[in-house]
Structure 1
Amino acid sequence: MQWHDETVGIIGLGYVGLPLAIAFAESGATVVGVDVSQERVQSLKQGCSYLTDVSDEEIASVLGRFHPTTDYSALRECDAVIICVPTPLAKTGEPDISYILSAAEDFRPYLRRGMLVVLESTTYPGTTEELLKPMLEETGLKAGVDFNLAFSPERIDPSNKQWTLKNTPKIVGGLTPECTMRAKALYERVVDDVYPVSSPKVAEMTKLLENTFRAVNIALVNEFAILCRRMGISVWEVIDAASTKPFGFMRFEPGPGIGGHCIPIDPLYLAWKAREFNHEARFIRIADAINRQMPEYVVSLISDALNDHGKPLRGSRILLLGIAYKPEVNDYRESPGLALVELLQRKGSHVCYHDPYVLEVHHNGWVMKSVELTEDELAKSDCVVIVTAHKCYDWGWVVAHSPLVVDTRGVTRKMNAHNVVRL
């Protein structure tokens, strides 16, 4: 099947939906982008981006074919609709699929015969068939007969210039072979390699395996970091040495915790679903516990480092470098930096942060703005903590002008500096 002059609808114009919308528009499709945020929609209509991975020029170049709106009725003429809404964890630790349900409910009146519907939001196996399918079939249209339904997990890695939407293989799993074929044909216009699987559940589970693999291995190397420090061994030197092995080893690095929209959350979706099958995902739970304790471990490092310099944690001025969850992004969801702020403030420290990508943070009822990074700002801080390894930072300059540095990312491991404490 070939898609030529079709209209593609994208629900959710965040880090997944917006690049996808731009890609389809660049391929020549007409794209309707729906988002609940009027602010986002207005920004896009003016050709302005709010994501580091999408430039203003890219948006401006496709505005003739890309139509952002808050109105779901604009989807009624679409040939395909892709759902790319957030799927966070509820405070109880259970999956929060309310955004999927809300998007499906608002879109449902405009579902029509022959339409393809694809869910991209990361979720537990069974969501597409057990929740989305019956909701859409309330229209009287039957999935796999009157309209096509599939799941295709997003594999966006923000700020990654090597692996992009185009050259990262895309997994698609449809309700029927025809559904899979329709979804595969759609994505082939923007992705080089589309890999079909037998069902939506297989596609959903594939995404969870990918991110659980990362979470578990990060937990392993975090545990190594704690053990190596107690044994007086540099974990960074160990990792560098182990990375010389050309087979059987994959490099992972420790840090102050894990953050972002996927790795801290997706494994817990799987652990929650596993209980339905009378299975306790012990490996996932252990890894999650290790990763979640890392901010507290970093606070203990800061406290010990200050103590060695004759200062208490209480009353000390702590400057965090980076609050985004990873380098070169403006996303601070689930960032370990947020936990560090709250833990340090609870201990009585005066905390501030600098991040060139995140000028202001709103979290748990508190607001904090990025300070200007100057020699004086570094010098007057009792401790500077490297949280996010943005490439724009000059680490030699930071170390030279700071009385004390706690490096949680290993970026100073080649420096011989008496004022640096490393994870």
Structure 2
Amino acid sequence: MHRPESKDHSVVAAPLNPHPLARMIRDEIIERRGWMRFERFMELALYAPGLGYYSGGRRILGRTPEDGSDFVTAPELTPLFGQTLAKQVEQALDATGTDEVWEFGAGSGALAEQLLGTLGSRIRRYTILDVSGTLRDRQHQRLRKALPELVHKVVWADSLPETLEGVVVGNEVLDAMPVHLLRWSGEQWQERGVGLAPEDTPEAPVFAWVDQPAPEGARPSTEHTDAEFVPGTVVESHGEAEAFISTLASMMTRGAAFFIDYGFPEAEYYLPQRIGGTIMCHHLHQSDPDPLTHVGEKDITTHVNFTGIALAGQEGGWEVLGYTTQARFLINCGLLAQMGTAGQPESTSAADFKTRAAVQMLLTEHEMGELFKVIGFVKGEWFDAIGFDEGDRTHTL
């Protein structure tokens, strides 16, 4: 995923940005004298009230481009994902003596349906915090239809509480939190921000990468020396995600937390050969590395630096329960046993073929099995979480 290289002003050849959000961002860039931190640009592109990708009201989650969606997440692939995760959640509830689940970024509501439907009476309350009003409506409709006898347990929160206890889950939440960009010129670290290209117009904004000297001491938090980075290398700094984790940890009085996302430990995240960083955009089930085009119409994500997440959790008072791949975590929690007849080669029903295909996506290295990781935390007495029984990689963080 490469970025254009320049010392001062690099222009991205881009289609027009006719979305009203692009014009709003353009106005703010002008107010900021022609330069906006990428962190702010990403925040507006994804979350600007009523206009951002997640807050603008369009359907984003689904299986195919034909339904107007942009990407699919594990809970939409098969209910076995949430039913298997429920084994870990139940153990954590028992170990911490709690009875509430908190889900951050609940998407279509599929994971909530799977967890609540599996655990039932074991959960007293299921609290969802999601910034998208459209997704909240979709979640409510789905749960009311699928679990009419349990939907009364679901609460939608508008903000973080002062304190919380229970088990926190977050599937593909951290990757969508705004990041700060740094670029190595070969001589110094620069802040990579967004400006306006020469061909920009008020009716059709065109954005460009603009680099300026970074504050003194700004550099990636890695043991790699500056000399190891290839000139033009762009890296992400995850201050917002790490602050979110630290805040959650400090709010929790007792409980556990599990976050599932794609990413690497720090030693892999900042490998010198990862020259273009990890930014990736998604639209109609196609991906591209250019966040400056089709603003407001496509998702913008980055891979997670799990070392930074682990340190942030510890700073807030959590202990790390474990860290491993999604494949190993799900197998440890009994996914293969959950498959039932769908795991039998002699089964030829269309539904079983579909289930086996979905499980393959969850587990295989070239799909989600290796790239996606799971990190677990606890506040209170430490316990042996079943998801990390085998293949724990905490030592790599």
After TM superposition, is the score higher than 0.5?
A: no
TM-score (norm 1): 0.32
TM-score (norm 2): 0.34
The structure whose Rg is larger is: 1
| Larger strand proportion of the pair | 2
RCO higher in structure (CA 8 A, sep ≥6) = 2
